[in-house]
Amino acid sequence: MSWAQAILLARGASRGWGGICSTALTGAPFSQVPPQAPRGLRCSAAAHNPDSSLVPHPPEPPRRPVKALAVHEELFRPALDGARNKANFVRAVQNFTEYNVHKRGHVDFIYLALRKMREYGVERDLSVYNLLLDIFPKEVFRPRNIFHSIFLHYPRQQECGIAVLEQMENHGVMPNKETEFLLLQIFGRKSYPMLKLVRMKLWFTRFKNINPFPVPRDLPQDPVDLASLALRHMEPDLSARVTTYQMPLLKDSPNAMDPTETHIVGIQSPEQQSALACHDPARPIFVEGPFSLWLRDKCVYYHILRADLLPPEEREVEEIPEEWNLYYPMQLDLAYGRSSWDDYEFNIDEVEEGPVFAICVAGAHDQATLAKWIQGLQETNPALARIPVVFRLSGSSGELLPSSSELEEPPPPPPEGQEEEEDSQQRQQQGQS
């Protein structure tokens, strides 16, 4: 802002500034010095008494290190009720437009508002973005002749418009017709913000539905619901059943000092049940975990119940008897001479791992909680009672453990130590094999 504008502000709008400052500065500490020249002028004009040189000053309160405030940051001070929500944000923006008819410093204000959106929780709200775009004066920045359109007309404002659209894009907010109309009014059809809007509309619509495993935008807050959503997300078998083995204790109960009751939710499909029923009781099965699963921005930790792979000599090939289907043969051993043009298989042995029998999400990652899960599983899988279960729990590093040596529960080591352990184990394996 030029000094002339500053003086105009100080003189002309001083009553308005005083109004804002008095309402917004109720909670502000006294020692914060307004950094701007016009407000300095105003403050000095108000507080400069000729008596101040004669009367001794009271001792000044100790100054805390002052962070330099941005230009209009006092508008975003928390209001009387202190809540940072959409209403207060909208109120702050409207305060700017009311008390500043000529909208001086609107570019800086919009940048500041964009930074503050995350605190107020409105970064995904399209109406708030439209409100911010509404701050721009209309029809002023539109190019009117060819010279305007050759040179970037009002570059700071165009950059600011692009910054608003860019934050929308970062948070995945799709612009609508109101945004388009606002940009048209403000910048005109051939401007860069308009071009960016066209690009956003094009690429957003192209990439909107490319996720084959979509996760809803509003994740449930309840841990049990989140756990069942996570389990359904992981398990491809649609006939799997989600069972809640334990509900979490309410936190406001008086004896919440020993929170042993966390939620335990598990999932198992009928195929896994039958596989567990045919599992050989001589071989142990392992509870492994915790592994991390990310749903948008929430991380859920899950444990799996799995068995090791059978060595090749013990694997049985299931033979389907010929009478199983009388209409057509289930196995054909025709030796057609097919060459490599029909071979769509990759020339590599895929990683084979043991079968997974069940997955669960629990609030705590210790053996006691998982033991409760196993007990709950025993109700639907009676065969589990005879099979030894070994707990292979690691620290919550999210790495999958090697399927090698240790059979007792290792104490949760720090991640670096764990890597070295695994490296040395692998080297031992390689040395032995």
Partner 1 sequence: MALVRKLLNGTYILRKCPKPRVASFPFLGTRFADYCSSSFQKPVAAPGKASSQRKTKGNLEEHHQREVALEITSPEDKPEISFDKAIKEEMKDHFRRLKDDIVKYWIGPEGRPLHEVLMEQAKVVWQFRSKEDLDKWTVTSDKVIGGRSEVFLKMGKNNQSALLYGTLSSEAPQDGESGRSGYCAMVSKIPRGPFEMKRSYDWSQFNTLYLRVRGDGRPWMVNIREDTDIIQKKDQMYSYFMFTRGGPYWQEVKIPFSKFFFSNQGRIRDAQYQLLLDKISSIGFTLADKVDGPFFLEIDFIGVFTDPAHTEEFAYENSPELNPRLFK
With CB under 8 A as the rule, give the number of residues binding partner 1: 75
Using CB under 8 A as the binding rule, whether residue 157 contacts partner 1 is answered as: no
Q: Does 218 bind partner 1 (CB under 8 A)?
A: no
What does residue 298 show for φ and ψ, rounded to 5 degrees?
-110, 135
Which CB atom, from 102 or from 171, has the smaller least distance to partner 1? 171
Sole binder of partner 1 in the list 88, 95, 100, 158 (CB under 8 A): 158
Smallest distance from the beta carbon of 19 to partner 1, in angstroms?
A: 34
Sheet of strand 298-307: strand arrangement: 241-246, 264-268, 356-362, 298-307, 285-295, 389-393
Q: How far is the CB of 214 from partner 1 (least distance, A)?
A: 6
Residues numbered 231 to 270 that lie near partner 1 (CB under 8 A) are: 233-236
Structure tokens, 59: 């001792």
Residues of span 161-180 touching partner 1 by CB under 8 A: 162, 166, 169-172
- 204 forms part of the interface with partner 1 (CB under 8 A): yes
Collect all residues with Cβ–Cβ distance below 8 Å to 193 and sequence separation of at least 6: 158, 161, 162, 164, 165, 183, 186, 187
Contact 279, 288 (CB under 8 A): no
Shortest approach of partner 1 to residue 298 CB, angstroms? Answer: 9
Q: Closest approach of Cβ 293 to partner 1, in Å? A: 4
Please pick, from the candidates 13, 264, 359, 384, the single residue that binds partner 1 as defined by CB under 8 A. Answer: 359
User: Residue 209 Cβ, how far from partner 1 at the closest point, in Å?
Assistant: 7
Identify the residue whose tokens are 């529960």: 409
Closest CB to partner 1 among 20 and 231?
Answer: 231
Q: Which of residues 299-358 bind partner 1 (CB under 8 A)?
A: 299, 302, 304, 306, 339-348, 350-351, 353, 356
Q: How far apart are CA 182 and CA 180, in angstroms?
A: 5
Find the binder of partner 1 among 62, 212, 311, 312 (CB under 8 A): 212
Of 29-37, 80-88, 180-188, 203-211, which part binds partner 1 (CB under 8 A)? 203-211
Whose Cβ is closer to partner 1: residue 127's or residue 292's?
Answer: 292
Tell me the two tokens of residue 228: 């069942």
40 or 410: CB nearest partner 1: 410
* Nearest CB to partner 1, comparing residues 244 and 292: 292
Distance CA 174, CA 165 (A): 10
Name the residue nearer to partner 1 (CB basis): 141 or 302: 302
Minimum Å distance from CB 233 to partner 1?
7
The piece of 136-144, 158-166, 276-284, 325-333 that touches partner 1 (CB under 8 A) is 158-166
Angle at 368 between CA 362 and CA 373, to 5 degrees: 50
CA dist 258 and 260 (Å) reads 6
For the bound state, the minimum distance from the C-beta of residue 202 to partner 1, rounded and expressed in Å, comes to 6
Considering only residues 383 to 422 of the shown chain, the ones binding partner 1 according to CB under 8 A are 397-404, 416, 419-420
Confirm or reject binding of residue 382 to partner 1 (CB under 8 A).
no
The dihedral over CA atoms of 299, 305, 310, 314, expressed in degrees to the nearest 10, equals: -160
- State which of residues 291, 361, 365, 393 lies at the interface with partner 1 (CB under 8 A): 291
Among 43, 79, 126, 198, binds partner 1 (CB under 8 A): 198
Alpha carbons 126 and 174: distance in angstroms, whole number: 8
> Which of 327/341 has CB closer to partner 1?
341
Question: What is the DSSP secondary structure assignment for residue 73, as one 8-state letter?
Answer: G
Neighbours of 29 (CB within 10 A): 10
Query: Checking DSSP bridges between strand 389-393 and strand 285-295, what pairing results, if any?
Result: parallel
- Candidate residues 208, 244, 367, 428; the one interacting with partner 1 per rule CB under 8 A: 208
- The CB-of-356 to partner 1 minimum distance in angstroms stands at 5
Task: Give the per-residue contact string, 97-136, with partner 1 (x = CB under 8 A; - = no).
Answer: ----------------------------------------
Write b or e for each residue in 4-27: b if 16 or more Cβ atoms lie within 10 A of its Cβ, otherwise e: eebeebbeebbeebeebbeebeee
- Considering Cα of 22, then 26, then 27, then 32, what sign does the dihedral take? positive
Closer residue to partner 1, CB minimum distance, 3 or 213:
213
Residue with smaller CB distance to partner 1, 253 or 403: 403
The contacts of residue 235 (CB under 8 Å, 6+ apart) are 267, 269, 359
Tokens 């404002």 -> residue: 157
Q: Tokens representing 243?
A: 């069972």
Q: Which of 210, 238, 250, 282 binds partner 1 (CB under 8 A)?
A: 210
Regarding beta strands 285-295 and 298-307, do their DSSP bridges make them parallel or antiparallel, or are they unpaired? antiparallel
